[in-house]
Amino acid sequence: MKTKLIRTGKLIDGKEVLAIELTNSLGTYVKIYNYGAIINKFIVTNKQGEKQDIVLGFDDIDQYTNESYLTNYPYFGAVIGRYANRVKNGRFTIDGQTYQLSQAKGGDCLHGGDIGFDRKMWDVLSTIDPSVTLQYVSEDGEEHFPGKLTVQLTFKLTDENELILDYKAETDQATAINLTHHSYFNLAPQGGSIAAHKHRMPASNYLEQDDNYVVTGKLIPVEGTHHDFLAEKEIGKDWDLNEGYDQSYVLDKQYGEFTLASETREENSGLKLSVYTTEPVAHFYTAKYLDVKGGKEGKDYHSFGGFCVETQHHPNAINIPAFPSTILRPGEHYKQTTIYKIEHHS
């Protein structure tokens, strides 16, 4: 079990991009950049005994800042903040004060604004085998959010093939916060469509969205709909061929309880990815908008070529009082734990 720090020589915002490599006793290998806290590689051993990378991304750090990539930007493997998903009209009010965020296509704020935590340089605070703690300080007014927010994220790789993400945050002024991670997974040895992956989510309800994918506040039972993943099924079994899935599922749990969010299996690799979280919601996205040229080993990535399980609080909760609060105040401590666990399935 070890942690290795590698200098890339690439500078962003005057800081050098570092690669942090985590390796466990099973030979599982995770590579993380301090740019965007990006999970660049997640290499595991499949049932054939082959090494297999289960996350989408690039071979070279330069490709993550390429203009063509950012034009149709899928947030490969990055942390999302200060506020995940969409905020209606890019606007919210705290203690009588209204804040106007930047607005993306459709007029809503997406994934923290024009340049969110996914494109920031994080400081490497510590490396303790086999883990790394990154920190980013978001200044008051960044992307028009109030308060200076200090965020720490620790990645730890265990000998149980768990990649643990522990988030902590504090603020000096009441602010809105909803963090998540945006890794795209594909468990098939050769990649391609994830339609045949088998997926299960212990979620009896999903959140209604308007025409621009913004959560409205209404819960809809999954029973009798194509959104029902209470029992395992192939991802492509019931989906809309044009849309796939891009929904927030409310997990069946007590608020704050650490439980399973999803299980996904693939037959050819024999791999199973289980996601566990303290968060109340898992947003399931099957990459409808994915269109990236020249990914790892020169592969092009297309629609439905990966899936994301984005653990978080209810999207747009800052504007929906009935949802669990996403307001963080001075003296309070934001905490979240999400685990990606890889196993072989029978």
Residues recognised as catalytic: 182, 310
Using the CB atoms, write b or e for 200-238: b if 16+ within 10 Å: bbbbebbbebeeebbbeeebeebeeeebbbeeeeebbee
Interatomic CA distance for residues 212 and 6, integer angstroms: 41
Using the structure block, give the residue that is written with the tokens 């621009």. 212
Sheet with 246-250, side-by-side order of all strands: 215-221, 205-209, 246-250, 281-285, 308-312
Task: Tell me the C-alpha to C-alpha distance, in Å, between residue 206 and each of 111, 129, 177, 216.
Answer: 20, 39, 21, 11
Interatomic CA distance for residues 222 and 229, integer angstroms: 8
Interatomic CA distance for residues 45 and 270, integer angstroms: 10
Using the structure block, give the residue that is written with the tokens 């994080």. 122
Question: ∠ CA(233), CA(235), CA(236), 5° rounding?
Answer: 110
Let me know how long the chain is. Answer: 346
